[in-house]
């Protein structure tokens, strides 16, 4: 799962198809993501001490990870994402269309960490 918080994604299926938004939360166990402005539902709330004003609140609900694709920050197109190791040993995500690095997954392993292992 190579989608992280604050990535820009585009919905590829469902009612909100074609909508781009920022990832607010990722649930890796359930395979779902919460995207800003996507899958908005109305929740009816009764007036109480916590909710002084009752009524209908709109809130986003998570959607399945298979229904979104990452938007590359370099080429601004939706793309598949892969991981690779750089020469210094660090692992990064990269765009399969323009081959640009998107973000780091793990740091480079130093010599002291390798020797002690």
pLDDT in tens, 31-59: 999 999 999 999 999 998 887 888 998 99
- Give the global pTM: 0.79
Based on the fold, state whether residues 96 and 63 are members of the same structural domain.
no
pLDDT tens digits along 57-90: 899 999 999 999 999 999 999 999 999 998 888 8
Which residues form the domain of 59? 1-47+54-71
Phi, psi at 98, each rounded to 5° = -110, 0
For residues 83 and 1, the answer to whether their CB atoms sit within 8 Å is no
| Cβ atoms within 10 Å, residue 75 | 13
Same-domain status, 33 and 64: yes
Total domains in the chain come to 2
Q: Are residues 22 and 64 in the same domain?
A: yes
Give me the CATH number covering residue 13: 2.30.30.30
Does one domain contain both 88 and 110?
yes
Query: Residue 11, SS3?
Result: strand
Q: Are residues 87 and 112 in the same domain?
A: yes
**Residue that is written with structure tokens 């995500």 in the block:** 93
Rounded Cα–Cα distance for residues 96 and 74 (Å): 12
């Amino acid at each position: 799962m190579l989608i992280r918080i604050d990535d820009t994604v585009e919905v590829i299926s469902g009612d909100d198809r074609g909508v781009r938004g920022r990832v607010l939360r990722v649930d890796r166990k359930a395979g779902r993501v919460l995207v800003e402005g996507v899958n908005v539902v109305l929740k009816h709330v009764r007036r109480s001490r916590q909710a002084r004003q009752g009524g209908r609140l709109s809130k986003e609900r998570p959607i399945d990870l298979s229904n979104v694709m990452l938007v590359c920050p370099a080429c601004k197109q939706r793309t598949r994402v892969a991981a690779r190791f750089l020469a210094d040993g660090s692992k990064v995500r990269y765009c399969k269309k323009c081959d640009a690095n998107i973000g780091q997954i793990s740091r480079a392993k130093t010599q002291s960490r390798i020797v002690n292992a």
